[in-house]
Amino acid sequence: MIQAVAFDIGETLTRDDRYWASWADWLGVPRHTLSALVGAVVAQGRDNADAVRLLRPGIDLSAEYRARDAAGRGERLDETDLYPDVRPALSTLRAAGVRVVIAGNQTSQAGQLLRGLDLPADGIATSGEWGVAKPSGAFFARVVELAGVPADHVLYVGDHPQNDVLPAAAAGLRTAHLRRGPWGHLWADAPEAAAADWRIDTLHELVPIVAES
């Protein structure tokens, strides 16, 4: 029985458009250039931050984050960054008595911004706050702790098969691959995505899945 649903963040709950556009503007490069590089490095199985490193070899990303914040150009997140099914789907799950948590590979600042949106969730955390990131099994151990129920009663939902589906399953969680955003579509037919317990196109599909579990 699924007692908790845990959600990835980028391209599951939020669009990444603003994030990468802000980096392109900060670096002074065309937005399409950085966007294409992000897609290329991720398709190669690399960290998406490698796209920035390709444009600025040797860049200290931590220092750049601080510089952007000091210049008033740090991370931003508001209601327009959410996919339209986020609030209604999460609200319906909570109303059904399911514990809803959010945990993904994001900065500590992103965690603060997400909590500021007052989402219908019982807990929100990021890899930056935990000091451990996906696909590490330690990350999913923290997800289970946040969910507050046994691992096999937690359903983890994400768009990235290698970061979300496979490591979550290895940690004992149930999994749902979301065909959303570039990675969700890129790997929709990959064996890693097929390994998910469920494959969905919208968060609304989780409601009957949980009800029937």
Note the pTM of the prediction, 2 decimals.
0.92
For residue 43, what pLDDT is reported?
82
Model confidence at 143, pLDDT cuts 50, 70, 90, reads very high
Model confidence at 47, pLDDT cuts 50, 70, 90, reads confident
Average per-residue pLDDT for the chain: 94
- 186 has a pLDDT exceeding 90: no
For residue 42, what pLDDT is reported?
82
| 91, 84 contact by CB (below 8 A) | no
- 74 has a pLDDT exceeding 90: no
- 58 has a pLDDT exceeding 90: yes
For the segment(s) 4-15+78-212, the CATH number from 3.30.1950.10, 3.40.50.11810, 3.40.50.1000, 3.40.50.150 is 3.40.50.1000
Domain ranges of the chain: 4-15+78-212, 17-70
Model confidence at 14, pLDDT cuts 50, 70, 90, reads very high
Q: Give the long-range contacts of residues 104-108, CB within 8 A, separation 24 or more.
A: 104/7, 104/8, 104/9, 104/10, 104/12, 104/134, 104/158, 105/9, 105/10, 105/133, 105/134, 105/163, 106/9, 106/10, 107/65, 107/75
For residue 145, what pLDDT is reported?
98
Mean pLDDT within 129-154: 97
- Residue 72 vs residue 209, higher pLDDT: 209
d(CA 55, CA 45): 18
Mean pLDDT within 202-213: 96
- 149 has a pLDDT exceeding 90: yes
